Amino acid sequence: MFRTVLLALCSVFAATALAADAQPAAAAPPAPAQPAPAGVLIDKVVAVVNDGIVTESELAEQMVMIVERLREQNTPMPDPEVLRKQVLDRLILQEIQVQRADRLGMKVGDEQLNAAMADIAERNNIPLQQLPAALAQQGVDYASYRDNLRKEMLLNGLRQRDVISRISITPRELEQFLDRQSKQPSADKEYNISHILLAVPEDANQTQVDELAARADEVYDRATSGNEDFGRLAVAFSNSQTALEGGSLGWRKGPELPTIFSDLVVALKPGEVSKPLRTPSGFHIVKLNEVRSVTAAGGLEQQWHARHILMTTNELQDDATVRQRLEDIRKRVLNGEDFAVFATTMSEDSGSAVDGGDLGWTGPDQFVPEFQQKLESLDLNQISEPFKSQFGWHIVQLLERREFDTTDELRRQRAFQQLRESKADEETELWLRRIRDEAFVDTDV
């Protein structure tokens, strides 16, 4: 039980924004590889990915982890070669993302990683110093666990940068969304869903599209025949990032359902499977597993009004350089220059830069821990020293503090986040497909 909880907690660090409330799929760390006997070839390359590689040992470790997870989920195993191909495809895509993050100068420092490990230990009610021993009891190597968690945090930061932060929500969209939400019975429900994606290449001709449509119909027929498990079909056929989790998207609140098939899900009964739905990313087949009611939150809470400047590292400037630049800006603002001007011209947070770095009113737990802790420690109008989060380096100024009845405001904030997240699934699939198409990959090695 400890291990199940522990592995699931990796998803805590899959934040989708500074003010994030999303529920990305968890990623479990692989079991440690066994050392090879002396004189035996210990590894080989199974894929060349741009200027990097994927090795046989990496593939074997991931295969062990995925097989164990599928067994825990009681998902019937697909053909071993099909599973191997799916796992290799995931490792290739991870390598492409890691390389992109490296080129952008993105890093997860030891301080961030240690904070994440401490949070995992706290959630499992054990002291941090006992975490290595607890992992070892489950057959998990502590160093491998840290490395995998660091990678997970890095890839989540990359998704935030390349996908989530670029999703635009207009005031009109938000008002329309709130209006629909008030009229939909799904607003106070959560849906446990799984899905299969048959991706359509960007340059696909009509013949290829027709072939994929026919395959989608075939998968749908098999999924509704009563003779095959939906999770097994997802592992075997899906091109989605959740394929190796049996296609599970987990629990989603009604407004957080992916926009592309939200109406379709609401119309299903538990256990039903939808007919294939065509979208820009491909053909989707959705299964509704369960439905449950949820209770709306509200009441008085402490809120902060702040503004910040974000800068990230890259191949031209390291942590020390970025920190010094922010320290120089801080000193100039303290000497009378305009914070908003610096934020507008220099901040890399595109969402707040246009407003002079203004983040508006926010409540607790809407920022990543490093940012929230710094914000809570400030006096009014105080500007923090530069500090680092998973998104880069910041300075933040606290402008106001208040107690606020969140009933209506919280509804609007959550609606904004839900609307953004409802768009994120499709945008993420399109982004992953694009960076995969742009990469050089050779598996004939």
Interval 283-320: pLDDT, tens? 999 999 999 987 655 567 788 999 999 998 877 788 89
pLDDT of residue 11: 35
184-295 maps to which CATH number? 3.10.50.40
**Residue 445 host element (H or E):** none
CATH topology match: 184-295 vs 300-407: yes
Half-sphere exposure of 336 (CA within 13 A, CB side): 0
Every domain of the chain and the residues it spans = 2-162, 184-295, 300-407
Domain at 2-162: CATH architecture:
Orthogonal Bundle (1.10)
Nearest alpha carbon to residue 377 among 318, 288, 304, 314: 304
Domain 300-407 has CATH 3.10.50.40: yes
Q: Output the CA–CA distances (angstroms, integers) from residue 35 to 28, 132, 139, 337, in the order listed.
A: 21, 20, 14, 60
Residue 174: partners with Cβ closer than 8 Å, 6 or more residues away: 412, 415, 416, 419
Phi, psi of 366 (to 5 degrees): -100, -10
pLDDT of residue 171: 87
pLDDT > 90? residue 421: no
pLDDT of residue 201: 85
DSSP symbols for 197-238: EEE--TT--HHHHHHHHHHHHHHHHHHTSSSS-HHHHHHHH-
Among the ranges 38-52, 137-151, 229-243, 295-309, which has the highest mean pLDDT value?
A: 229-243
Indicate the pLDDT class of residue 239, thresholds 50, 70 and 90: very high
In 269-315, where does DSSP find H-type helix? none
Q: Which of 37-41, 161-165, 237-241 is predicted least confidently?
A: 37-41
Residue of 321 and 37 predicted with greater confidence: 321
**pLDDT tens digits, 20-54:** 333 333 333 444 444 545 555 567 999 999 999 99
199 touches 282 (CB < 8 A) = yes
Dist. CA 54–CA 43, nearest whole Å: 10
**What mean pLDDT do residues 255-272 have?**
88
pLDDT of residue 184: 64
pLDDT > 80? residue 413: no
Indicate the pLDDT class of residue 258, thresholds 50, 70 and 90: confident
pLDDT of residue 23: 34
Residue of 183 and 375 predicted with greater confidence: 375
Q: What is the pTM of this model?
A: 0.61
Nearest alpha carbon to residue 325 among 260, 395, 232: 395
DSSP symbols for 95-155: HHHHHHHHHTT----HHHHHHHHHHHHHHTTS-GGGHHHHHHHTT--HHHHHHHHHHHHHH
Counting Cβ atoms within 10 Å, is residue 256 exposed (0-12), middle (13-18) or buried (19+)?
buried
Nearest alpha carbon to residue 292 among 186, 433, 195: 186
Helix (H, G, I), strand (E, B) or coil at 34: coil
